[in-house]
Amino acid sequence: MNTLVNKSCLENLKKSGDPIIIAAALKESEAIVNACREHGIVAKAFCDSEKRKNGSIFHGLEVIHTPSLSKKFPKARILIATQQVQDVVDQLSELGYHEFYSALDLTQNYNVNNYNHKISNSFMEKRLSIYNKSHEAYFDINKTYMRSVDVMITTKCSLKCESCSNLMQYYTDAKNTDSIPTLEALEILNKNVDHISEFRVIGGEPLMNKDWHKIVHGIVEKNPGRQVFIYTNGTIAPKEEILEKFKNTKSVNFVITEYGELSKNLKKLHILLDKYNISYSSTPAGHWVDCSSIKHHKRSVSQLKEVFKQCCVKYLYTLLNGKLYRCPFIANAANLNAIPDNPADYVNLFSKINIKKDIKRLVKGAKFFPGCDFCVGRPYDPSSRVGYDGKGMIKAGIQTKTPLEYKTFK
């Protein structure tokens, strides 16, 4: 599949030819549009799987919902702005597009300080650095590469969103994970893969684990030069003496999801992060794709392959209690015993045998996982019924008073 994507884009995209479409309208895409203009490359539009962006203007270009792209542009040269190269190729080649380009030529020499971006220049620099590593790794087929690993450090959350895609709404005995085994598991993972670009420290609400900062420090110490993103919901402002330890640390970033009045410490958190010069982004929760029901669908193999093919989080590697999974749904469904235990769903990093081979199987070999049969799917295009049994777009952050019930397998 790698041969479908051109590593260099400058020469070909400067020439006249089919219209140039940028996939997708993301934070990094702003830099890619700037770089295109610098080099005289004329992009016509963005395509994006999120339907709500359809018809909007992003950085001067129209955003077209990907499934309807072919109505306006039956032929196109696709410039890949997302870090998930294979996802774009899978989705757009199905729609009949065959000419794909990495934007590495544009991003590797981009000077963030020549522009003002919607996100801070330091945040943009980090996003582009991860983009570059992801794309370089994509072209090195011998290596086992993970763009990002979600390190789940707690199943406790200060909110209880009834449609949490990480399944927090089902936990009745939520727990923190211990810092030492978490860091040991990461060490084993590091030794057995060629490259991980970023770590996302998540929960539940990761700041509910009082050792969150020890885990973050541990990751930073063992992974110099890699970025760590702490995903939080704005309900907790950490103590100043803890945040002070991260002052000016270039590799630590907060990603804040805002839940209106529920994010009761949002302002305080912003003030503290500004005070200690810690990089962050903060955005409203908006709308979600319904993907949190747990049900045994009993799909055929070809249906399971379709669900997996359409899934937009199948590269969201998740580490939970020493096991590595391909997505947060399977990680938490397994942890809740809401799906039958099946070693095909994960790699036990403490198993001491065949770790490298098992990780390769998880990363490169899978066409679907047994756990996918319990998931409604999480498609690129939630308005489509292909490979998806959920409700589509739903309001984010609706709270449940009590944990939701589910069937257990023991």
Residues that bind ligand SF4 (CB under 6 A): 157, 159-161, 164, 166, 168, 203-205, 233, 307-308, 311, 313-314, 326-327, 329-330, 369, 371-372, 375, 377-378
Nearest C-alpha neighbor of 330 from the set 352, 347, 349: 347
Nearest approach, Cβ of residue 224 and ligand SF4 (Å): 29
Nearer to ligand SF4, 84 or 233 (CB): 233
- Taking only Cα atoms into account, the Rg of the chain, rounded to an integer number of angstroms, comes to 21
Q: Where are the beta strands (DSSP E) in 209-359?
A: 227-232, 252-258, 279-284, 287-289, 317-320, 323-325, 346-348
Peptide bond into 45 cis (omega under 30): no
Nearer to ligand SF4, 203 or 382 (CB): 203
C-alpha of 333 from chain center: 19
CA–CA dist 127, 131 (Å, integer) = 6
Nearest approach, Cβ of residue 164 and ligand SF4 (Å): 3
Nearest approach, Cβ of residue 316 and ligand SF4 (Å): 8
Q: In Å, how far are 8, 126, 237, 282 from 123, measured between CA atoms?
A: 25, 5, 21, 12
Nearest approach, Cβ of residue 366 and ligand SF4 (Å): 9
Nearer to ligand SF4, 200 or 326 (CB): 326
The answer to whether the CB of 76 falls within 8 A of the CB of 101 is: no
Nearest approach, Cβ of residue 255 and ligand SF4 (Å): 11
Cross-strand pairs, 10: none
Terminal Cα-to-Cα distance of the chain (whole angstroms): 40
- What is residue 395's three-state secondary structure? strand
In the numeric block, which tokens belong to residue 157? 């959350």
Nearer to ligand SF4, 19 or 370 (CB): 370
Nearer to ligand SF4, 96 or 343 (CB): 343
Nearest approach, Cβ of residue 237 and ligand SF4 (Å): 15
Nearer to ligand SF4, 76 or 202 (CB): 202
The answer to whether the CB of 313 falls within 8 A of the CB of 378 is: yes
Nearest approach, Cβ of residue 163 and ligand SF4 (Å): 8
Q: Output the CA angle 200-63-119, nearest 5 degrees.
A: 40
Cross-strand pairs, 346: 325
Nearer to ligand SF4, 125 or 358 (CB): 358
CA–CA dist 45, 341 (Å, integer) = 45
Percentage helix, strand, coil, to 5, in the chain? Answer: 35, 20, 45
Nearer to ligand SF4, 56 or 293 (CB): 293
Nearest approach, Cβ of residue 165 and ligand SF4 (Å): 7
CA–CA dist 325, 314 (Å, integer) = 10
Nearest approach, Cβ of residue 82 and ligand SF4 (Å): 17
Nearest approach, Cβ of residue 150 and ligand SF4 (Å): 11
Task: Let me know if 285 is exposed, middle or buried by CB neighbors in 10 A (0-12, 13-18, 19+).
Answer: middle
Nearer to ligand SF4, 45 or 359 (CB): 359
Residue 173's CB: how many other CB atoms inside 10 A? 8
CA–CA dist 121, 115 (Å, integer) = 8
Nearer to ligand SF4, 110 or 308 (CB): 308
Report DSSP state, residue 19: P
Nearest approach, Cβ of residue 42 and ligand SF4 (Å): 36
The answer to whether the CB of 161 falls within 8 A of the CB of 169 is: yes
Nearer to ligand SF4, 123 or 308 (CB): 308
